[in-house]
């Protein structure tokens, strides 16, 4: 979960490769062909189906469109990328053209989305391990730890 453009998809793929866990990119399941949002009731059901697997890595923060509680209830680990606005905006500009509502969400994420996100994590995933990374170096150190644990002879 994160502010858009922080690299959550790349992180999910890297963790999936390191752990062998399947990666579920929520954007691919949520957005319709013309970027229409999946209705909340349907999205909750779809996430419930996706989260039925024993283990997974789900990548996504759909901002005001999201229904978090479904996947948070099943999570044993939550990673929150709380990077500053400018690096996220730069990555978002480089990757694709985004709609105005994306930019408004990106700009106001820490003020509007982060508090409710933290509240949802506390309420719905209270037993999960929570990792909050504020910069790419901290995230890279975490990836190195996960990768080292997966190597034979390491624990």
pTM of the model: 0.86
Q: Is the pLDDT of residue 153 over 80?
A: no
Tokens coding 150: 């997966």
Burial of residue 111 (number of CB atoms within 10 Å: 0-12, 13-18, 19+): exposed
Q: Among 3-17, 68-82, 92-106, 110-124, which is the least confidently predicted range?
A: 92-106
pLDDT tens sequence across 75-102: 999 999 999 999 999 988 888 778 888 8
Asked if 4 and 88 touch (Cβ cutoff 8 Å), the reply is yes
Query: What average pLDDT does the structure give for the chain?
Result: 90
Q: How far apart are CA 16 and CA 18, in angstroms?
A: 5
Nearest-angstrom CA–CA distance, 49 and 60: 16
Mean pLDDT of the 110-127 span: 92
pLDDT range class, residue 154, cuts 50, 70, 90 = low
């Amino acid at each position: 979960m994160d502010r858009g453009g922080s690299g959550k998809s790349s992180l999910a793929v890297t963790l999936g490769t390191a752990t062998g866990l399947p990666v579920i990119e929520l954007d691919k399941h949520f957005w319709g062909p013309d970027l229409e949002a999946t209705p909340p009731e349907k999205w909750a059901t779809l996430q419930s189906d996706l989260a039925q697997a024993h283990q997974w890595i789900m990548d996504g923060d759909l901002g005001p469109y999201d229904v978090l509680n479904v996947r948070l209830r099943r999570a044993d680990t939550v990673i929150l990328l709380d990077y500053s606005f400018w690096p996220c905006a730069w990555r978002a500009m480089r990757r694709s053209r985004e709609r105005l509502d994306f930019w408004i969400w990106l700009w106001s994420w820490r003020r509007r989305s982060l508090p409710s996100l933290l509240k949802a994590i506390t309420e719905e995933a209270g037993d999960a391990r929570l990792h909050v990374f504020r910069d790419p170096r901290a995230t890279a150190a975490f990836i190195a730890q996960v990768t080292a644990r997966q190597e034979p002879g390491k624990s």
